[in-house]
Structure 1
Amino acid sequence: MMRTWRISTVTDAARARIAVARLAAACGVTTPDRTRLVTDLGARLRQCLTKNGTWQLTFQVPASDSDEKLLHLILSPDREASAAGEPPWHISVACLGTGQPPDGDPADDDVPDDPAVLAEALLDADEETALALERLAGQERLVAFHQERLRQTNQGVLALHTELDAAGRAQHEAFAAERKARTEAEDARRRLTFLADASASLTASLDYEEIVRRLPELLIPRYADSVDIWLFDQEDDRHRSAPRPAAAVLAARTERPQYAADHPGGLPGVDDQPPSALSPGRPLLCIPLLARRASLGVLTLSPPGERWAPDDAVMLIELTRRAGVALDHARRFEHNRDIAETLQRALLTELPTMPGLALAARYLPATHGLNIGGDWYDAFRQADGSLITVVGDVTGHGLHAAVMMSQLRTALRAYAADGGSPGRLLTRLHAFLHHLQPDLYATAVIARFRPGDPTLTWAVAGHPPPVLRLPDGRVQVLDAKPGAMLGIPLHQEIGDHTLRLAPGSTLVLYTDGLVERRTQGLDPGIARLSTALGTFDSAELETDLEGSADRLLAPLLSDSERDDDVCLLLSHLTGTTGLPSVRPPSEAASLPHP
């Protein structure tokens, strides 16, 4: 549909403007678009009226069945203006509604000629403009409100970002602090682990020289580049002539750690000193090796890098203190061991000689402790010419056990001087020990050989049984009923046992250290001893009893670690002459003691 107006006067322009506004409203053009359309048209019409002439305004509406939804408004000049180059003016506006303008002749105007009606129409157009402007103002206020809300939201977002940034920095600092704390804790754990392992390694040994050798091996290269140990008790001409750093001498005099370098060390508990003239370009840490009563020496270290961390220095000072204690223990142990070995050598019996009877003895101290215990062996003659052989064991180790063993050995010899069978001697020894040391116990086995008499008499008090090898190679365990341990609070009379021996027989007396092991009892060890003894040849025992004693110990002591002393006494009746005949004894040795 199309409407057309010819405009040559202001009234024509007003009527056309009003008509266009009404038609646009009828076609469903929105108020803002309609206002812009009428405003633009009014401005264009004012320009046209200033140029005079007649202008044609065309209003085109799309058909209802058309897909096009645009209204077209065309303002064309007359011929003279068009010939003068004036172009037509065109504007389009969206038509959203479904309404259609009323049908009619385009030449018929919808606006009457009455000035009052025209003015009313113009006023209505202005009201629509005012309404549109009011709506636009409302939209502007709404836009301003949303802009303010958006501004506030942006400020909130910026504040949130600021808080997030601060939280991120705080979290990063917390993570860094946690990593630092974890690293410090791990370093502290490594230091403590090293200190514990190194201390265990140093205190595990009681060998003075071995501790001195282990200390540099533990420190190099982890905590020191070089280690020098200055021990005062090892000073000789060679050591005394060797120059020592001034800081080491000062540490020896003051018994305080000293740090010698061209820069302050900042190490806790350590005094700073000028660099050493012997090593001016290398820092030195000199730590005294302190014992209970005096300083044993000075440990001088050079760092593996430029310097030590304070915590490393604290750990090194503590390790040196523990090394000093370990060296002091080792020195005291070696001193006591020398005393014990001297006492042990004094207590070992020189075996007597007797025609027809060969003796061989071995004593091996335990590999732990003071190398001295309560095991002993003895062999001596009685007044009637009989030979007493004895092996005993006092409970415990150390000097106290050795002293008690010496007292028992002396008491036994004193009792044997009055005569008496092995059982009688053990009975008297039991009473002596019970009254002398009620809380100390002992075991013993005594065997007696009479000249001219092939009868062996023996008695046992809580001790492993004797083992006898017969001339034909068979082995017997003499496990006849023994007495109880010596010194227990029990009255007992220990009986004798007798057995006739043939020339070539070998009797073995021993202590439990030879046959007993931690995971086994005595019986398996006695069985091993019997087996080993049965492998010997009679000629070997006859000609080399000393070597036979060593070869008998070898398979039974294959392990290098022994927790107990070992005592062995071999008595071999020679197979040629036998025991010599002497005056008959006054006491019948073959009868058991009542």
Structure 2
Amino acid sequence: MALVTVLDADRQFLPGQIGLPDHMAEAREMSLSHSLSQHVVEDGQLLMVSDLRADPRMRDNRAVRDLGAVAFAGVPLTDSEGQVLGTLAVMDREPRVWTRSEVALLTELGEVCSSELRLRIAREVADEARRHAESAHDQLTLLSELTEALSATLDVDEALGRLGRMVAGRLSDWCFVALAESARSVRHASVAHRDPAYEKEAGELNLLAPTARKEIRSMIAAVQRTAMPIRRDLADPATLPLLIADPRIADLVARLGFGSFLIAPITAPVGRRTAGVLMLVNGPERGPFGEAEERTAAEIGRRAGLAIDNSRLYGRQRRVAEVLQQSMLPDLPHIPGIELHAKYLPAQVGAAVGGDWYDAFVQPDGSVMLAVGDVAGHDIEAAATMGQVRNLVRGDAYGRDDDPGPLLTQLDRALHGLAVPAAATAVLARLRREDDDYSLTFANAGHPPPVLLRPDGEVEVWWESPEPLLGLMPGDPRSTHRRRIPPGSTLLLYTDGLVEHPAQLIDDGIGRIRAVLRNNPTVPAADLCSRLIETATRRDDDIALLVIRLL
């Protein structure tokens, strides 16, 4: 039996299950009297029991009597804050000693379930916010839309620019957003006006605003002292030259309209540091701001601060991950008669990098080993695991004349025996020069098929019977496939980020790269890589590709 569970105070819900009695499976829930998973939730960690009947804490659970459960293993499912909400659990009807590989697989699948759970929660929270905003005041609608706009980009300048464009006209006639990195530096300054007739003045103030460092720091210091927005219901344009040193800026502010203003802090949640200000300004015709606008402006400042913190955190993580990833990607060898070119691109969203890799190295006998693979995951851990898998491929294959199929079979055994927590797809190939042609042998572990452009312009896609991913469980020996390749051919190995899309068949993506190869038979390999990457219809997965041109 296997269960995905979510627990509340008195029930265990079953988003997924197999092997339960029909009445429980149909109800999609059970009482805690039958819940072994409650102990995983209480402990907050992996729980393995070989024989429940011998466990004092669990032997009286009704699952033992009514379901025949004897052995149990469960891993916690957590939300984004680490709170345990449920489990991924398996049960057996006879005593069982859970192996290290089974525990590793269960743990990895638990991470997948947790990611899906977090995504469902995030979607539900966003949907609930939208539903509430649709029936609430216009200012609540603005907050909801603003949250989505800020979360849709991790670029600080773009996020604050969106903020200004959304606020102008809905909370104020115009607004000014500023972010200061230090006393001497303005990180961002932008102006947005609700009326297109003032586009010229707003554009000029955009250009000049970063020079008003003293005034921006003064506003930040003022809201930092009060820890709340500053509101002035009556503002006299005649005082602007006293407040702003640059007469050009003072003149532009007066022309845009200066009857009342509200300054709210942009506060980073970490350390409660005031990083910038949101200044809302109304001309005399619109009238002063009220308490509702003040509360909304303060909330906008908090959400903008969260977006800024997220952007900085993402930037640091992305940089660390990219450096790690690039440090583990090899320099390609220079081989007479063979041109090699590779490219790796991190995803443009999410955790930035993942487990995609490429490799090529020359064997002592002169043959060339070629590899492209993809370790499951999109984070630093996936990149680190990728390095282990790639090094195992190199270390196991170097100096041996085995075919790629046996080499991948041995790699499966090594991943299992060394408890490397990896599930990966890969193509491993050996290329040899034979007389006037090349011979190539390859093995494919659940990976997209190699594609060959022949000298006559024909494009071959090397589909073979699917074989399992690496690192799950050692199974049957893996197959080796053989091809003859004439000089003048171009071989392409790549990862799924180049061709896959949730709304399309993989054949569509492969059709696009076939067209690129057919239409660009003579372009340099570096340019060919760029044109292939341009065919990717989305960039939420990383891409690795290896082009082998046989001269």
TM-score band, normalised by shorter chain: 0.5 to 0.7
Q: CA deviation at 1:208?
A: 0.9
Of 263, 271, 278, 2:243 maps to 278
Of 342, 345, 349, 1:364 maps to 345
Of 224, 243, 246, 1:252 maps to 224
* 1:434 equivalent in structure 2: 416
Query: Aligned partners of 1:341, 1:245: CA distance in 2, in Å?
Result: 34
Query: Aligned partners of 1:491, 1:478: CA distance in 2, in Å?
Result: 23
Of 246, 257, 264, 1:287 maps to 264
Question: Structure 1 residues 192, 459: closer, same or farther in 2, change over 3 A?
Answer: same
Question: Structure 1 residues 346, 314: closer, same or farther in 2, change over 3 A?
Answer: same
Question: Structure 1 residues 232, 527: closer, same or farther in 2, change over 3 A?
Answer: closer
Q: Answer yes or no: is 1:417 the counterpart of 2:398.
A: yes
Query: Aligned partners of 1:442, 1:247: CA distance in 2, in Å?
Result: 53
Letter in 2 for 1:308: F
Q: How do 1:139-154 and structure 2 match up within 5 A? A: none
Letter in 2 for 1:521: L
CA contact (8 A) 1:285 1:300 kept: yes
Normalising by the residue count of structure 2, what TM-score does the alignment of the two structures yield?
0.61
Question: Structure 1 residues 548, 275: closer, same or farther in 2, change over 3 A?
Answer: closer
Q: CA deviation at 1:520?
A: 2.2
* 1:550 equivalent in structure 2: 530
Of 139, 153, 157, 1:209 maps to 157
Q: CA deviation at 1:303?
A: 3.6
Query: Aligned partners of 1:353, 1:569: CA distance in 2, in Å?
Result: 14
* 1:45 equivalent in structure 2: none
Query: Aligned partners of 2:352, 2:162: CA distance in 1, in Å?
Result: 23
Letter in 1 for 2:308: L
Query: Aligned partners of 2:354, 2:217: CA distance in 1, in Å?
Result: 46
* 1:5 equivalent in structure 2: none
* 1:406 equivalent in structure 2: 387
CA contact (8 A) 2:262 2:289 kept: no
CA contact (8 A) 2:373 2:495 kept: yes
Of 290, 297, 301, 2:280 maps to 301
* 2:176 equivalent in structure 1: 228
Question: Structure 1 residues 287, 490: closer, same or farther in 2, change over 3 A?
Answer: same
Letter in 1 for 2:296: M
Between 1:422-431 and 1:475-484, the stretch displaced more is: 475-484
Q: How do 1:89-100 and structure 2 match up within 5 A? A: none
Letter in 2 for 1:313: E
Q: Answer yes or no: is 1:461 the counterpart of 2:461.
A: no
Query: Aligned partners of 1:203, 1:482: CA distance in 2, in Å?
Result: 39
Q: How do 1:160-239 and structure 2 match up within 5 A? A: 189-233=137-181, 235-236=183-184
* 2:549 equivalent in structure 1: 572
Q: CA deviation at 1:320?
A: 1.5
Give 3-state SS (helix, strand or coil) of 1:480's partner. Answer: coil
Q: CA deviation at 1:408?
A: 1.0
Between 1:303-312 and 1:502-511, the stretch displaced more is: 303-312
CA RMSD of aligned residues (A): 3.1
Identity of aligned residues (%): 38
CA contact (8 A) 2:361 2:369 kept: yes
Give 3-state SS (helix, strand or coil) of 1:229's partner. Answer: strand
Query: Per-residue displacement from partner, 1:387-410 (whole Å, max 9, x unpaired)?
Result: 111110111212121111111112
Q: CA deviation at 1:482?
A: 4.8
Of 486, 502, 506, 1:502 maps to 486
Q: How do 1:387-406 and structure 2 match up within 5 A? A: 387-406=368-387
Q: CA deviation at 1:373?
A: 1.6
CA contact (8 A) 1:252 1:298 kept: no
Q: CA deviation at 1:425?
A: 2.4
Question: Structure 1 residues 241, 422: closer, same or farther in 2, change over 3 A?
Answer: same
CA contact (8 A) 1:433 1:441 kept: no
Of 334, 343, 348, 2:329 maps to 348
Give 3-state SS (helix, strand or coil) of 1:488's partner. Answer: coil
Query: Aligned partners of 2:376, 2:414: CA distance in 1, in Å?
Result: 16
Between 1:432-441 and 1:187-196, the stretch displaced more is: 432-441
Q: How do 1:369-388 and structure 2 match up within 5 A? A: 369-388=350-369
CA contact (8 A) 2:233 2:288 kept: no
Q: Answer yes or no: is 1:450 the counterpart of 2:415.
A: no
Query: Per-residue displacement from partner, 1:459-508 (whole Å, max 9, x unpaired)?
Result: 11111121222222222222234532101124232232222222222221
Question: Structure 1 residues 276, 536: closer, same or farther in 2, change over 3 A?
Answer: closer
Question: Structure 1 residues 310, 514: closer, same or farther in 2, change over 3 A?
Answer: same
Letter in 2 for 1:424: P
CA contact (8 A) 1:394 1:405 kept: yes
Question: Structure 1 residues 348, 243: closer, same or farther in 2, change over 3 A?
Answer: same
Q: Answer yes or no: is 1:524 the counterpart of 2:508.
A: yes
Rg larger for: 1
Q: Answer yes or no: is 1:491 the counterpart of 2:491.
A: no
Task: In structure 2, list runs of 5 or more residues that go unmatched.
Answer: 1-132, 186-209, 245-249, 251-257
CA contact (8 A) 2:134 2:141 kept: no
Question: Structure 1 residues 494, 198: closer, same or farther in 2, change over 3 A?
Answer: same
Question: Structure 1 residues 246, 372: closer, same or farther in 2, change over 3 A?
Answer: closer
* 1:42 equivalent in structure 2: none
Query: Aligned partners of 1:433, 1:187: CA distance in 2, in Å?
Result: 55
* 1:242 equivalent in structure 2: 214
Query: Aligned partners of 2:150, 2:368: CA distance in 1, in Å?
Result: 50
Give 3-state SS (helix, strand or coil) of 1:396's partner. Answer: coil
CA contact (8 A) 2:324 2:384 kept: no
* 2:456 equivalent in structure 1: 472
CA contact (8 A) 1:447 1:457 kept: yes
Question: Structure 1 residues 200, 414: closer, same or farther in 2, change over 3 A?
Answer: same
Question: Structure 1 residues 432, 186: closer, same or farther in 2, change over 3 A?
Answer: closer
Query: Aligned partners of 2:492, 2:449: CA distance in 1, in Å?
Result: 9
Query: Aligned partners of 2:221, 2:530: CA distance in 1, in Å?
Result: 52
Q: CA deviation at 1:290?
A: 1.6
CA contact (8 A) 1:258 1:286 kept: yes
Query: Aligned partners of 2:533, 2:223: CA distance in 1, in Å?
Result: 52
Query: Aligned partners of 2:519, 2:217: CA distance in 1, in Å?
Result: 65
Query: Per-residue displacement from partner, 1:311-364 (whole Å, max 9, x unpaired)?
Result: 121111112111111111112112222222222332332221111111122223
Q: CA deviation at 1:379?
A: 0.9
Query: Per-residue displacement from partner, 1:274-324 (whole Å, max 9, x unpaired)?
Result: 999628985443322122223222333334533212112111111211111
More strand by share: 2
Query: Aligned partners of 1:473, 1:260: CA distance in 2, in Å?
Result: 73
Q: CA deviation at 1:215?
A: 2.0
CA contact (8 A) 2:347 2:353 kept: yes
Question: Structure 1 residues 438, 248: closer, same or farther in 2, change over 3 A?
Answer: closer
Query: Aligned partners of 2:227, 2:270: CA distance in 1, in Å?
Result: 12
CA contact (8 A) 1:288 1:298 kept: yes
